[in-house]
Amino acid sequence: MKSLLFSMLFLLSFLAHSGEAAIPCTTVDANAAACLGFATGKAAKPSSAFCDGLQQLAQTVKSVEDKKAICRCLKVGAKSLGIQDRFLSRIPRACNIKVGFPVSVNTNCEMIH
């Protein structure tokens, strides 16, 4: 569950295509796992592996439901892994990813569109 990286939040905003299949948490976990050090404050910056994982995850997004699914997966893990909001907000800039909503463990996944 290391990938329970809220990072998904901004990745989610990458693509907004239409489709219905939601992305499974195992896919989210595999692509976001490298972020744990940065998201918990143990690393000064996100690793290139983390940013690459976010890019790969973003490429799998085909629908709003995919974005919401990623958000839900990451929020579940973030609560149990000690993820800190102050580091989450830095991820989009550090990985050069643009998002259209706040990156936070408090983000309401159901409000993503």
Token pair for 87? 């580091």
Q: What is the pLDDT of residue 8?
A: 45
Identify whether 1 is part of a domain: no
Residue 56 backbone phi and psi in degrees, to 5:
-65, -40
d(CA 109, CA 40): 21
CATH number at residue 93: 1.10.110.10
**pLDDT at position 97, please?**
78
Measured between alpha carbons, how far is 107 from 87 in angstroms, rounded to an integer?
14
Report if residue 2 sits inside a domain: no
List pLDDT tens digits, range 58-111: 778 888 898 888 888 888 877 777 788 888 888 888 888 766 566 788 889 899
Provide the pLDDT for residue 99: 63
Distances (CA, A) of 16 to 58, 61, 66, 99: 10, 7, 9, 12
Would you state the pLDDT for residue 108?
92
For residues 4 and 99, give the distance between their C-alpha atoms in angstroms, rounded to a whole number: 18
Q: Is the pTM of this model over 0.75?
A: no
Check residue 71 and give its pLDDT.
Answer: 84
How many domains does one find in the chain?
1
